Amino acid sequence: MSENTLEQTKNENSVLWSELTKRNEQYMIGLDRALTQANYDEESKHTLYNKMMKELVTNQKSGTTARQLYGTVSECAENVLQRQEATVSSERSPDWLIALDGGLLLGAIFALISGTSLLTAGENTQPGMGIVSLILNFIAGGLSMLIVSKYQPDVNAPKGKKGYFKYIGVLILSMVFWMLAMTATMVLVPPAINISLPATAYLIIGALSFALRVYLKKKFNITGGVF
């Protein structure tokens, strides 16, 4: 909402407020208190109140109260918050966030696997993936997850149009691309550059990557990814 539109809504709300009955005023005060405690977006509150007060002013002429229209204050607040959560969860995050989320997850998994394998293996074991391969693993994994996320099946679509076959095909091709990229770095990049790390380093990188992924997912509310 633009600044001018928001200001117009606030001014209109002031006029509507003066037209409410005392009972409906108390209802709106209680609702505002409940939504404020739940950290409901201020701008969204003005829009919501504008719609509600218009309905109240119209219906109170026939004796209908806010409680009769919307239920108790707590019920109304819960419905508003649930609608907000549904709206947020249905929105797809920017591509770079989805790629970052997927890359951190897959990179963390493979770093932990590499560290655990080296830690439990014998003395004659092969060295783990090099640092270049590890970095590329995060990048290729993120790109793969981004591509796959764009072809997720629509479970609500009619039978035969859900997109499962396309999704499986894209998933397989993405995994092939990912594995080829990993293999190419291990074969083509010299060991002097693609330096192998000790087991504990892989475990630390994996743990930190996973923790960072959890933090970013919560901070940016990343949605639309595969996982």
| Domain end position, chosen among 58, 90, 122 | 90
Please tell me the least confidently modeled range out of 30-39, 95-104, 158-167: 158-167
Are residues 102 and 62 located together in one domain of the fold? no
Q: What is the pLDDT of residues 162-181, one digit of tens each?
A: 788 888 999 999 989 888 98
Q: Is residue 183 part of a domain?
A: yes
Alpha-carbon gap, residue 59 to 53, rounded angstroms: 10
Are residues 107 and 215 located together in one domain of the fold? yes
Q: Is residue 226 part of a domain?
A: no
For the chain, what percent of residues have pLDDT higher than 90?
57
Alpha-carbon gap, residue 28 to 19, rounded angstroms: 13
Compute the C-alpha angle 193/199/200, nearest 5°.
Answer: 110
Alpha-carbon gap, residue 48 to 42, rounded angstroms: 10
Are residues 99 and 211 located together in one domain of the fold? yes
Are residues 158 and 57 located together in one domain of the fold? no
Helical residues (DSSP H) of the chain, grouped into ranges: 3-19, 22-37, 42-59, 66-70, 73-90, 95-120, 131-149, 164-188, 199-220
pTM of the model: 0.61
CB 66 within 8 A of CB 24: yes
Burial of 135 (0-12, 13-18, 19+ CB in 10 A): middle
